[in-house]
Amino acid sequence: MLRELGVDFYRFSVSWTRILPTSFPDKINKAGVAYYNNLIEELLKYRITPVVTIFHWDLPQKLQELGGWANPYMVDWYADYARTLFKLFGDRVKYWVTINEPQQICYLGYGKTMFAPAVNIKGIAEYLCARNVLLAHAKAYHIYDKEFRKKQKGLIFISVNCPWYEPLYESQTDAADDANQFDWEQYAHPIFSKTGDFPPATKKRIAARSAEQGFPRSRLPEFTPQEIQLIKGSSDLFGINHYFSQYVYRNKTVYRHYESPSYDDDLSVFFHVLPEWSIGQSNFTKFVPWGFYKLLTYIRKEYANPPVYITENGFSTLGGLNDNDRVFYHTEYLSAMLDAMEEGSDVRAYTAWSLMDNFEWSFGYTSLSSHNVRKFPDGFLFGTATASYQVEGAWNASDIKGVADYMCAKNLLLAHARAYHIYDKEFRPTQKGNIFISFSSQWHEPLTEDGADVEGASNAYQFHLDHYAHPVFSKIGGFPPIMIERIAAKSATQGFPKSRLPEFTPAEIELVRGSSDFFGLNHYTTSYVYRNESTYDYHEAPSYLDDLEILEHYLPEWTIGESDYIKEDYENPPVFITENGLATYGGLDDDDRVSYYRGYLSAMLDAIDEGCDVRAYTAWSLLDNFEWLEGYTQCFGLYEVDYKSPNRMRTARKSAHVYKEIVRTRALDQHYEPDMSKAITIDKGY
């Protein structure tokens, strides 16, 4: 088809998981690489230049489950993916499109349900997405510029969908300007303007609406000065996708018309199209060639006339070979483009969308977008395009071991520390309370005195409790050294360009360190730990368990090791036992639970006698409840709940009577036996 058309270039996109089936560069799919190598070689064989889009909407499911483009870690993940493509194909690919249509990705996919992933967290998610997409694009640009351009001698740019918004009346120029700035200039201004950053109108309007809505800061996230400089100028060409133009107006009826908060409410304009503009099958495309001319003219004047590649332009029909409407459309749009070029616009290439009918995002296969005479300048290029997800398909991936858990840990610790400092600075002086974090941990004991087992038990504790406690309670802060060392080494052997354990900045280390008034501890069990040759490659890789490389046997008995460890390693902080308990399958005579509580309370008293500053103990739980993995099949309650009873009758178990006596007497009597024939009562004064 391409040879029949006689085009100069072919724009296609690479499917992320076709190259990186795990979403990360630890594994490269040779079959996927071979597919694209064959495609590139075949194009070059017939002197057709490949133009490769690195990302055209088909995000791996694994990364979407981690928040997708709303997650700031996407910047690094995308950069790793881009670097992989540069290494694999950059010797032959000389034109790279970093990201296709970022506004549609963010606005329609994160602020609405129109397109995948349909996050629909209006007024927040689309702006987070925008910031991260721009940073990811810029990072890929600078990777290519610094590591590959000198040898590969290619060009790299972003492709932005750019409609044109025209004021309905002369008095509505502000509304039209705002519409352009909110839409495509939200992505073009940070890259192509002299000042960088989001457009001024966008920043001003969102900040004002956020303040009115009670937000403590603008919902549009800020770029740091360094990020502004990173993004500014990060495109060799201005890639434009163009399909429609609209009239815009704003009056009193628009205020509070849209759901709030939302992008639409922040912008607060109405759109209007003339009936005669309709062409083709899709409501998305409109026949307004003068809008295309005005867009190109505006870019020439506003952004210092950058070199422009039209990376998509076209419209859809219901099918058929005699597509006279499409012929007329392309003729008039190319004519408008030539008018702009004759006035000085530096347009260097035009791409008709698309080579063949494909799966259009929200119209499936029902909407089909698939060429008397004016001379084009010498050297001008023509091409056509498709996208991997729409034509070729992409692989789904699941499971995010060894990445998501570590990213979650960092974010939880930062969130905890932020809340701690808010309370400490804004509320503690008047409310005079305490605030702390509660860790769930078991004690890890080496199975033998063998050095590998001893080291394994120590590593287990650092991976488990210390993963969260060390950043808060240690003198130096940050993740435990053993974790940092082991995960970095494992990541390197698995082909990751950096450790899967995200780093804290020095400022974040200081923010987290010391951010707890007490050491909250949930404890339920103890395990013996061993490490030998059988544990290597035993667990799925990459994963937390593979990084740790141990196996465990769980013990029924109680120990005091944990309290001693906290005392010695963390300078004996005040400890609150926030959970401790035993599950049974029901029944009122729960002697196992009574023995469990007595044993653990005895061990706790031993630790206190040795100097551990344990200040509180919490029995888990007051009554039977829905346990996370076991539902209602396991019962932790001091009180039994009859789930068949309409009023959910609660009855005190033996453990409730024993625990009441411990609380009443503030003493642990191993031989106390309650009279179960008597109902438990409320003591005087309670």
Task: For helices 591-609 and 654-665, give the axis angle rounded to 10 degrees.
Answer: 30
DSSP secondary structure of 460-483: HHHHTTHHHHHHHHSSS-SS-HHH
- Catalytic entry in 222, 503, 510, 579: 579
Residue 261: is the preceding peptide bond cis (ω within 30°)? yes
Longest CA span, the chain? 104
Where are the extended beta strands (E) located within 416-472? Answer: 437-446
Q: Is 53 helix (H, G, I), strand (E, B) or coil?
A: strand
User: 547 and 463 in contact (C-beta within 8 Å)?
Assistant: yes
For 110, the token pair is 């994160």
Among residues 116, 158, 119, 120, the alpha carbon closest in space to that of 136 is found at: 158
What residues contact residue 136 under an 8 Å CB cut-off, 6+ apart? 74, 75, 78, 79, 98, 99
Return d(Cα 102, Cα 110) in angstroms, integer: 11
The backbone region for 65, taken as left when phi is positive above 0, alpha when psi lies in -120 to 50, beta otherwise, is alpha
CA 267 to CA 248: how far, in whole Å?
11
Query: Cα dist. 417→232, 424, 435, 518 in Å?
Result: 33, 10, 10, 13
The tally of CA atoms less than 13 A away on the side-chain side of residue 194 is: 4
166 is catalytic: no
- Residue 315 C-alpha from the chain's centroid: 33
Q: Say how many CA atoms lie within 13 Å of 278 toward its Cβ.
A: 7
Identified catalytic residue from 101, 166, 227, 312: 312
* Dihedral sign, Cα of residue 244, residue 247, residue 248, residue 253: negative
- CA distances 633 to 296, 601, 627, 629, 641, Å, are 67, 26, 8, 9, 12
Is 311 exposed, middle or buried, given 0-12, 13-18 or 19+ CB atoms closer than 10 A? buried
Report the alpha-carbon distance of residue 456 to residue 330 in Å, rounded.
68
Q: Is 259 a catalytic residue?
A: no
Nearest partner of 406 among 470, 336, 484, judged by Cα = 484
Nearest to 582 by CA among 540, 640, 524: 524
Annotated active-site positions, please?
312, 579
